[in-house]
Structures are given as structure tokens and as C-alpha cells.
């Protein structure tokens, strides 16, 4: 115990990089900071670790406080511990990124934080090292989306192939060849076409699809790799 007594004390925080997707854009959820320092500036949603919770529990709590959502995709990706990263007090922050269905968030977004969605290619100036957190989260998301079907977490239960392509273009920030993209998708038998069309864009309409997680789990257990990249 004496060894512990002689050590410095510092704060541990979690910060959530919350991604959503709407109208062909990958978006980031930001809040206006309501306390000093940097009051009124744009910030990620975060909070301090409590003595009775794990890091994962703290991140889930922070996410629920803002969005009301539970059981969403939430992944720890990196710790940020530069000595002067928080000008108020020495704080180490553990970064998590969340993938949410934006429409669900909008229906129950807390009014307490002046939260606002911004496209990832139009991010304003952020407090402290939060922009570095966002950039690191995007790199992690792009890597994960190439090798795992995490992108479907950003979509509703049913979606068109065009919507799926727009999502991946938003994640990777580049245009994807439609023919090559569809050829890759045809190899994925865990994408199930539904007996329903989206007719909002044309009279002919586009078939809706559904991601069948059980089929993907079975394919993965058999060594079938997921690979979807621009």
C-alpha cells in the first residue's frame, strides 16, 4: 500500500466518437461544451470514469446519456495521455467509437447538450485533442469496415444496394465502382434480398436487402473472410 501512496493521482475519462449515416453522408455527433475550460466550443461526448464501473461501462453510460440508446456497436480503440492534453487537470482519456442508426438517435437525442450532427468532411475546430481522436477513430473504422461487416450497424434493418454503396463511400471518403462493388456483394450469401422495393427514387424501384448476422457467423466459423473495400 505504501507503494500506491507514493504514486501520482490523475483523472481517467472516456470520450465517445459517435458516427451516424444519413443522406449519403457519414456524420459525427458533437456537443457544445457547457463548462470551463473552453465553454461553448465543439466537443466530443465524454465523461470521467467512476470508481464502481469499468471503462466499457463508462463509455456505454456516456453514450446512453446523450442518445438514449443501449446495446449499440461500441469499440475501444486507443488511449490518449499527453501530459498537457487537458488544460484543467492531468487526464488520460480512453477513446471509443460508436456506430449508431442516426434516425433512432434523432428521435431520442438528449436536449441537454446542444448536440449536432456534422459530416466528417466538415468537422469544425474541436477542443483539446478531440480532432486527433476523431482521426484515429476513422482510421480504425476504415480498417474494421474492410474486414468485418460493422458498416451494417449504421444502416436500418432493410436497405438498398445503392444505400450500402453510399455508406462505404462515406466511410472511406472515395467513390467506389458500382460494378465491382455489386460483384463482391453477390458472393456474400448473408445478404438476403427481401420481397420489397424502395420506390421513392423511381417507378421501377430498388430491392431492399437485409444483413443476416447468423449466416455471417456461420460463414466466419467456416473460414469465409469478409473483404469489402474501395
For domain 2-141, the CATH architecture is Alpha-Beta Complex (3.90)
Per-residue pLDDT tens digits for 111-145: 889 999 999 999 999 999 999 999 999 999 999 99
What are the sequence ranges of the domains in the chain?
2-141, 155-221
For domain 155-221, the CATH architecture is Orthogonal Bundle (1.10)
Per-residue pLDDT tens digits for 23-79: 899 999 999 988 888 888 999 999 999 999 999 999 999 999 999 999 999 999 999
- Better-predicted residue by pLDDT, 1 or 9: 9
pLDDT at position 87: 87
Quick one: DSSP state of residue 153? G
Per-residue pLDDT tens digits for 170-215: 999 999 999 999 998 888 888 999 999 998 877 788 999 999 999 9
Distance of CA 157 to the CA centre of its chain: 17
Q: Which residue has the cell 463548462?
A: 35
pLDDT at position 1: 61
Residue 82 vs residues 91, 108, 132, 144: alpha-carbon distances, Å = 8, 35, 12, 26
Query: Does residue 37 contact residue 115 with C-beta atoms inside 8 Å?
Result: no
**Hey, what's the cell of 4?**
500506491
Question: Residue 76 class from Cβ within 10 Å (0-12 exposed, 13-18 middle, 19+ buried)?
Answer: middle
Query: Does residue 125 contact residue 100 with C-beta atoms inside 8 Å?
Result: no
pLDDT at position 223: 82
Q: Which contacts qualify for 176-179: CB closer than 8 Å, 24 or more apart?
A: 176/230
Amino acid at each position: 500500500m505504501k507503494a500506491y501512496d507514493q504514486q501520482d493521482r490523475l483523472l481517467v475519462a472516456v470520450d465517445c466518437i459517435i458516427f451516424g449515416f444519413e443522406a449519403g453522408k457519414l456524420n459525427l455527433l458533437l456537443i457544445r461544451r457547457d463548462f470551463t475550460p473552453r465553454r461553448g466550443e465543439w466537443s466530443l461526448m465524454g465523461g470521467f470514469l467512476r470508481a464502481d464501473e469499468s471503462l466499457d461501462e463508462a463509455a456505454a453510460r456516456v453514450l446512453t446519456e446523450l442518445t438514449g440508446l443501449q446495446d449499440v456497436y461500441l469499440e475501444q480503440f486507443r488511449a490518449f495521455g499527453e501530459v498537457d492534453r487537458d488544460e484543467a487537470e492531468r487526464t488520460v482519456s480512453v477513446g471509443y467509437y460508436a456506430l449508431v442508426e442516426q434516425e433512432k438517435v434523432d428521435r431520442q437525442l438528449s436536449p441537454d447538450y446542444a448536440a449536432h450532427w456534422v459530416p466528417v468532411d466538415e468537422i469544425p475546430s474541436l477542443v483539446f485533442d478531440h480532432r486527433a481522436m476523431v482521426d484515429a477513430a476513422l482510421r480504425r473504422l476504415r480498417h474494421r469496415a474492410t474486414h468485418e461487416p460493422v458498416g451494417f450497424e449504421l444502416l436500418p434493418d432493410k436497405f438498398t444496394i445503392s444505400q450500402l454503396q453510399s455508406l462505404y463511400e462515406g466511410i472511406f471518403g472515395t467513390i467506389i465502382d458500382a460494378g465491382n462493388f455489386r460483384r463482391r456483394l453477390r458472393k456474400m450469401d448473408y445478404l438476403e434480398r427481401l420481397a420489397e422495393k424502395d420506390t421513392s427514387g423511381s417507378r421501377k424501384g430498388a430491392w431492399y436487402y437485409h444483413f443476416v448476422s447468423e449466416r455471417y457467423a456461420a460463414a466466419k466459423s467456416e473460414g469465409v473472410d469478409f473483404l469489402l473495400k474501395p
